[in-house]
């Protein structure tokens, strides 16, 4: 799993049937302190988040199929939670 920030959306008028009614977003991974990394993901948005929001991603393709409720979905990463706050104890 990764923490990421939504930086954009992907618009596609024609998709394969397994991706119908799917919202696609672009996410950039961040570390727990909010520093952006060089890892980017094209993710399925099942919860409806917007640009600039921090999210928790599952980057296991098998889990994505279970999350969206369709077998063999050709998406590797999915948003599974919106991150409201991160507490780090030192």
Overall number of domains in the chain: 1
- Give the pLDDT band of residue 76 (cuts 50, 70, 90): confident
Please check whether residue 89 lies inside any domain of the structure. no
Distance CA 51, CA 60 (A): 23
Higher-pLDDT residue of 65, 3: 3
Q: Is 19 helix (H, G, I), strand (E, B) or coil?
A: helix
pLDDT in tens, 20-68: 778 899 999 999 999 999 999 999 888 899 999 999 998 776 666 666 6
Please check whether residue 24 lies inside any domain of the structure. yes
Please check whether residue 87 lies inside any domain of the structure. no
Mean pLDDT within 1-29: 89
DSSP 67: H
Higher-pLDDT residue of 7, 80: 7
Residue span of the structural domain in which 53 resides:
2-82
Stated pTM of the model: 0.84
Burial 69-85 (b: 16+ CB within 10 A, else e): eeeebebbbbbbeeeee
């Amino acid at each position: 799993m990764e923490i990421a920030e939504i930086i954009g959306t992907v618009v596609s008028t024609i998709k394969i049937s397994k991706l119908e009614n799917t919202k696609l977003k672009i996410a950039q991974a961040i570390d727990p302190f909010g520093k952006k990394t060089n890892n980017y993901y094209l993710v399925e948005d099942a919860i409806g988040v917007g640009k600039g929001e921090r999210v928790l991603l599952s980057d296991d393709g098998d889990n994505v199929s279970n999350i969206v409720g369709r077998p063999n979905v050709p998406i590797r990463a999915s948003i599974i939670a919106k991150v409201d706050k991160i507490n780090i104890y030192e």
